[in-house]
């Protein structure tokens, strides 16, 4: 049993939009009020954040501000719970200090109870929520499976409304494929996958880079408008729509690739990258942010948990690109600029990314066949030590060459998104749907 969220598009009318905007505003007010209060009390009196203490203040706040009675009381409580979660993430080092919510940013109102979703036709439903007399139309592109726990309504910066339905349902594990894959992620190419038979190259779609000129132009036009004017709001909507399109394209691509990998392989090995540190590089920060390695690995993790697969995260210091995948020789002088190198021991010519994926694949095979216990980090280091012991050589520069090796390699363009038929085939078949050149 897993928690699964369905997302549907809402089409509220003018009156319903006004009502939802009021709900967003009241929840935002409660969040910002208690955030400001907690900061002030800590700075002046040294009182630390405690959820139960501020929760007891909520009824008094509703008496002091009567307009809060227009909102659903449970939604205001959830807003305070969200602030408590933000503080916990800050205290435990998972996030920065909570920030005040802004009106023009993403807005959300949670409705844990007393809602109703009425199915009208195959692709249309109606949503009934507390304190709203009329029902909001929903575009239902798929059926809801499992037990519905709660809902939330979200307004994106580009002015669109979405319904998020949190459910709890059972997902059946996939049939074993008896295949393992080593996945090396990159910037020039999104990922290189080696499964013991072939090497698959997945191109980086670079959605931000392709839309960057258009985005810069719209942002320049926005900067020339007077804040608060109608023209400023129109220009802001254009920037928000384009930014939302980039995010949706990237999210769709990541879900398609991660789902295809999960269906194809029983086990996949990835590197544990220090993304936070890599973003500090001014020359590569934009490209690293656009490629979204963290989201990709996160999707692989929870999909592997859903479908009974296994994911192995190798320590970030494991030299997957520098180690020869044939004899185990380690080239410590290999720099990032060198994309191909020749092993001076076995004379094998390596593409650094393909070589890395092959070394990650070996770790996955060794992990599964040996039945080792302990962390993946120690197993990766042990495997590296065994390979170095076999070679009996220290590090060296190797040679740079443009020659190709004899291994099979398949290059995949970006997954096409134009037709729903291709998406359906991607989800139904057991292998990734990439086109061989």
Contacts of 333 (CB under 8 A, 6+ apart): 395, 396, 397, 398
d(CA 193, CA 203): 12
Place of tokens 């070679």: 391
376 within 8 A of 313, measured Cβ to Cβ: yes
Please, where are the H alpha helices in 224-351?
Answer: 230-264, 275-278, 285-291, 293-307
Q: Which of 195, 266, 271, 351 is catalytic?
A: 271
3 state SS of 109: strand
Structure tokens at 405: 């090796």
d(CA 196, CA 350): 16
d(CA 93, CA 130): 37
Where are any strands of DSSP class E within 11-159?
A: 107-111, 116-121, 124-128, 136-139, 147-155
Q: Which of 184, 195, 266, 290 is catalytic?
A: 184
Is 353 designated active site?
yes
3 state SS of 381: helix
Q: Which of 195, 266, 351, 353 is catalytic?
A: 353
Q: Cα angle at 73 between 69 and 74, to 5 degrees?
A: 165
Is 429 designated active site?
no
Is 351 designated active site?
no
Q: Judging by beta carbons within 10 Å of its beta carbon (0-12, 13-18, 19+), is residue 232 exposed, middle or buried?
A: middle
Contacts of 285 (CB under 8 A, 6+ apart): 278, 279
300 within 8 A of 261, measured Cβ to Cβ: yes
CA 252 vs CA 56, 94, 241, 259, 299: distances in Å: 42, 26, 16, 11, 12
Contacts of 359 (CB under 8 A, 6+ apart): 182, 318, 320, 323, 325
List residues with catalytic annotation.
184, 271, 353
């Amino acid at each position: 049993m897993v928690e699964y969220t369905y997302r549907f598009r809402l089409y509220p009318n003018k009156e319903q939009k006004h009502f939802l905007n009021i709900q967003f505003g009241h929840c935002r007010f409660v969040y910002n009020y208690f955030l400001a209060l907690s900061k002030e009390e800590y700075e002046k009196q040294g009182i630390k954040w405690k959820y139960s203490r501020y929760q007891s203040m909520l009824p008094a706040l509703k008496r002091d501000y009567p307009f809060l009675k227009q909102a659903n009381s449970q939604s205001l409580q959830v807003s305070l719970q969200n602030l408590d979660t933000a503080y916990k993430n800050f205290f435990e080092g998972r996030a920065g200090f909570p920030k005040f919510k802004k009106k023009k940013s993403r807005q959300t109102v949670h409705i844990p109870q007393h809602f109703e979703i009425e199915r009208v036709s195959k692709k249309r439903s109606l949503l009934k929520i507390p304190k709203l007399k009329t029902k909001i139309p929903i575009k239902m592109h798929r059926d809801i499976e499992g037990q519905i726990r709660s809902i939330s309504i979200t307004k994106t910066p580009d002015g669109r409304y979405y319904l998020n339905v949190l459910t709890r349902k059972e997902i059946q594990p996939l049939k074993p494929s008896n295949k393992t894959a080593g996945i090396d992620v990159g910037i020039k190419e999104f990922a290189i996958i080696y499964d013991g038979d072939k090497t698959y190259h997945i191109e980086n779609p670079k959605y931000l880079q392709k839309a960057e000129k258009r985005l810069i132009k719209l942002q320049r036009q926005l900067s020339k408008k007077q804040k608060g004017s109608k023209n400023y709001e129109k220009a802001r909507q254009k920037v928000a729509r384009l930014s939302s399109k980039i995010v949706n394209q990237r999210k769709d691509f990541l879900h398609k690739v991660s789902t295809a990998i999960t269906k194809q392989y029983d086990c996949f090995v990835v590197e544990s990258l220090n993304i936070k540190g890599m973003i500090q590089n001014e020359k590569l920060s934009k490209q690293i942010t656009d490629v979204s390695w963290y989201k990709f690995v996160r999707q692989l993790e929870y999909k592997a948990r859903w479908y009974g697969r296994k994911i192995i995260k190798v320590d970030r210091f494991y030299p997957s690109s520098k180690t020869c995948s044939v004899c185990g020789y380690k080239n410590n002088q290999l720099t990032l600029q060198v994309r191909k190198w020749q092993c001076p021991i076995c004379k094998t010519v390596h593409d650094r990314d393909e070589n890395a994926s092959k070394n990650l694949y070996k770790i996955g095979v060794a992990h599964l066949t040996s039945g080792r216990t302990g962390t993946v980090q120690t197993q990766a280091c042990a495997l590296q030590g065994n390979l170095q012991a076999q070679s009996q050589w220290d590090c060296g520069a190797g040679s740079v060459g443009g020659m190709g090796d004899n291994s099979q390699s398949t290059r995949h363009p970006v997954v096409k998104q134009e037709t729903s038929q291709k998406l359906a085939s991607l989800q139904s078949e057991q292998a990734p749907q990439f086109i061989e050149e």
